[in-house]
Structure 1
Amino acid sequence: MFANRLLALLCLALIAAAPARAFETRASSAWVYDMTTKTVLLEKNADVPLPPASMSKLMTLDLLFEALRDNRVTLDTTFPVSTKAKSMGGSTMFLNEMDRPSVRELMQGIAINSGNDACVAVAEGLAGSEEAFAKLMTERARQLGMNDSSFANASGWPHPEQRMSMHDLGILAVHLITTFPEYYPLFSETQYNYKDRAPANSHNRNPLLKIAAADWHADGLKTGHTEEAGFGLVGSAVMGDRRVVFVISGMNSDTERAQEAESIANWAFRQFVLKTVAPKGTRLAQAPVWLGAEGSVGLVPAEDVKLLIPASAQNGIKAEAVFTGPVSAPVKAGDKLGDLVITIPGVDEPTKVPLVAEADVPAGGFLVRVKTALGRLTSRAAQMATNS
């Protein structure tokens, strides 16, 4: 009865939905994730380690943000600029050895200008050398669960040991958004020109920041391009209560990258429906209670159960309450007793929602224990009679 009840609720919520279409990305590798519901919407070669180009600068920024959080540096701390940093090619913020850029300026130089020189200055300022900093990058990546990443430098400059999977880049993007909200707005800034040295290189290369969609907007994070990697993007966009993070790599041009990123955002927001299928506190099942003042306790979600559902998934949604029972008394309201496991067609991983006790169930008194003991004796006697 429980499963049928929830299934009916989901189907009613989807009656007005239009059919969803599958998305065939042109990217050689991609990962698309709805942060609001923790749902992976698309994976394509997502766990393959690939050259990340400048997208790996997000790891450099993460270590810098962590240094700020730990009070090892402040936004006004200045770093020297070595000859190695000044000599970096590719995208730069045009630093020289006489400069003493602040952490704030270096953050802008990396996030907006994609400055390779700024990355080396940060690496040397925090770890003494870029080589030592790259080791710290790899170690931190492992701690964050990024198991398909390794770093040889701070900038993403081509190197056979500089590798990240699109899934790992997505993990890092989610980490930056959730852990450093005070610094995240940096990724949506569109212009930065250090000491008026580079007006031609002052713009943010993220093409989504220029799009004025009617119902969603992008606010991050980082582009990347090398001949080996092609054109890539770590993007994040918001529509209403939803935030979507997506990573693509292997595009053939910046124009193709821009078109594909916009198409993915449109698809993610418009072909999936966010529904509250069970409000907080709704009784979805009952668990038997052993030696309790009550014989059972309701199982309810502690928060609203919100699901991201493909618009085509009007049938076939399954829900099941999973718990180990009977539950031993006493039980306190809010105790986690099991999970609601929801399987949605078209979504690879089932959604698990914690189920908690609806109310207190104190331990039963003497009469409850006697009644339980008599029940066990009666059951055992019946079983013996049957066996004989």
Structure 2
Amino acid sequence: MSYDIVTIDGDGIGPEVCQASIAVLREACGSDRLNFIACEGGALHYQRSGQVLPDDTLAACRSAHAMLHGAAGLPGVTYPDGTEVGNDLHLRLRFKLDLFANVRPIRLLRGVQCPLKDWQPGQIDYVIVRENTEGLYASRGGGVRLRDELATDTLVVTRKGVERVARFAFNLSRQRQGAPRDGQRRVTVCDKANILNSYAFFRAVCTEVAQTYADVAIDYAYADAITVHMIKKPDFYDVIVAENMFGDIISDLGAGTVGGLGVASSAELGEHHGLFQGAHGSAPDIAGQDAASPVATMLSAALMLRWLGERHADAALLGDAKRIETAVEEVLAQGLVVPADQGGKARCSEFTQAVLHQLR
């Protein structure tokens, strides 16, 4: 079977990291397994056309098997209300395609120096599942700003939204080997149930869902406290599930503990669609200089293959995903071709060639 993959290079370093990842995907999967469909979108396209997500791009995304995105956003390219145009690309895709689960693996790779003292590869390996369509971000475009005196946004939590992201988190835990500390399959609910009714409801629904997963433990952590726990005992975690805003914040914290956003992959998943991109931004200050690290996008491309392989029972894709992950980690572990964000001087093209060589 062949798969149609929409690619959106986007802005800043987006074209560099996206094209590097496409080269790796072609090497891993062969020339006839993946059909790449290049589409427009992002802040630069908005400047040119007035559209951040053109209708034809959205139509292609709806019909494709998956989407791979570079990065989006440019300084000063904003809407009249001051919000960034670039972010609106994946926000629109998120809501229009109902990509309700944002999946952020937090794994310390060999060859990446951990900012936390004495932690080694294998000891930090968990996943943050962020509810992606509700929470505080449900107010996107609907908040109130009154005479430059008052502004409000509403936090929205529904039973349907919490149930489905909770089930996603518990099912994901079942697919994993448990937390590094004790091997326990565990879902940690991140909230502020002690303060706000909306989060108390979020916790209650997660607890109801947990009753149908006797093989997976449930754990609770307040959003402020978990920022300490993620630093002090990262090996305790297996899967963390959180409301949209909290999930957004702790995902970047988690990435910081394993080397930064430059090595952080990301998937936005729904029942029928999947969008994959590195967790970093567009870094326009180094765009076009061959200075970007493609690691996060390459690992996101591997996530894409894994998701497609599971959906279509395609063992070959699952194997290709593992090969890419192993190749990227092996290049990092060798320490000969090190991206700038990891303290080295390797160009984007040099790292890409090293991964291609490792795959061969």
TM-score, normalisation: structure 1: 0.22
TM-score, normalisation: structure 2: 0.23
Highest Rg: 1 or 2? 1
Structure with bigger helix share is: 2
Report 1 or 2 for greater relative contact order, CA contacts < 8 Å, sequence distance ≥ 6: 2
